[in-house]
Chains A and B, each alone.
Chain A
Amino acid sequence: MADIAMIGDKDSVLLGRAAGLDVYFETDGARAGRLIDRLAREDTKVIFITEPVFEAAQETVAKYRSRPFPAIIPIPDGRGTTGAGQRLVRANVEKAIGADINF
């Protein structure tokens, strides 16, 4: 099994294949969730997922948050970033420190 997987719409993740990633075309949240579960069982280490799909599959993503593997990382898709990744960073700060501070 590949260590690195990539999930998203076809146009955005096709490039990943050339870099040797395991690429899945998926835009539906529920199906993406099941796919993540399967990849996690198969010992995938890192899953890159485009931001819209990342948000659609929130439920499953949350499940793997507190485990060391797999790391599920939102990346911008072909249409640019939606800010989901930055929001995630901010949510972490808020959780840890209690307020969103800029630094």
Chain B
Amino acid sequence: MAVSYKPTRMEMSRLKKRLVTASRGHKLMKDKRDETVRRFITFVRRNRELRARVETLMGEAMASFVIAKATMSTAAVEEALCFPAALAKVEVGSAKVLSVEVPQLTYIPSASRGLPYGMFGTSTELDAAVGRFSELMPLLIELAEVEKTCNLLADEIEKTRRRVNALEYVMIPQLQDAIHDISMKLDENERGNLTRLMKTKDMLKAKEEQAY
């Protein structure tokens, strides 16, 4: 313990107050950590599931795109897709998970219905690939939301855990030690004072007896 305090009553009562605050903070932080971890686990479970699903579906969409490219010339595919469809939008909200602000995303598909290219010169395979990918979009957005939430929660849990540990293993023991030290010193002073008084009293008595 490196920190030294003045051994006074004032200082001791101040430290005691700090100890109470630290203990309460520690309890709260610990509760927060436990609850965040619990929520995190449900989110991460969803994240895993979604990711696995997105990865297989994405693979399928890509595979059908490869077939589409085989049925058309590369130039034709690029031409069909070079003019972008009306942009898809995402509505953004924010939610709080234990004071961690997490994004909430709602997918709004692009306004134009159907395909962004004409029937002429494009194959049905391309339509299928585009259709599959469009179907995948809501899932992708959900994945984005859940994955971001997981990231943010993981960061928060790490921070909270550090705080809990700092309080538990550094702050609180240090304060307890300091309070103990001060109370020891105060007691010692008290005893020293008492002995001195007794001694003085004895000396005075002896003097008085001598005088008679």
Contact = CB atoms under 8 A, between A and B. Distances in A.
A92 B101 CA distance: 17
A36 interface: no
Contacts of A80: 59, 62
A2 B48 CA distance: 27
A19 B137 contact: yes
A91 B100 CA distance: 19
Contacts of A65: 151, 155
Interface string A23-58: 100000000000000000000011010000000000
Contact of B90 (A4, A81, A86): A4
B201 to A, nearest CB: 64
Contacts of B44: 89, 92-93, 96
Contacts of A103: 41, 45
Interface stretch (B9-17, B127-135, B168-176, B186-194): B127-135
A20 B140 contact: no
Nearest to B65: A15
Given A76-B55, A88-B147, A92-B154, A18 B88 contact: no
B94 interface: yes
B19 interface: no
A3 B140 CA distance: 13
A93 B155 CA distance: 10
A17 B81 contact: yes
Contact of B87 (A2, A66, A71, A85): A2
Interface of A: 2-4, 11-12, 14-23, 45-46, 48, 65-66, 68-69, 71, 73, 75-78, 80-81, 85-86, 88-89, 92-93, 95-97, 103
List 10 tightest A-B contacts by C-beta distance, closest first: A20-B110, A20-B88, A71-B148, A3-B90, A96-B157, A18-B130, A96-B154, A92-B154, A15-B133, A71-B144
26 contacts: A3-B87, A3-B89, A12-B62, A15-B130, A15-B133, A17-B85, A17-B116, A18-B81, A20-B84, A20-B88, A20-B110, A20-B112, A45-B103, A68-B152, A71-B147, A71-B148, A73-B144, A76-B62, A80-B62, A89-B48, A92-B47, A95-B154, A96-B40, A96-B44, A96-B157, A97-B157
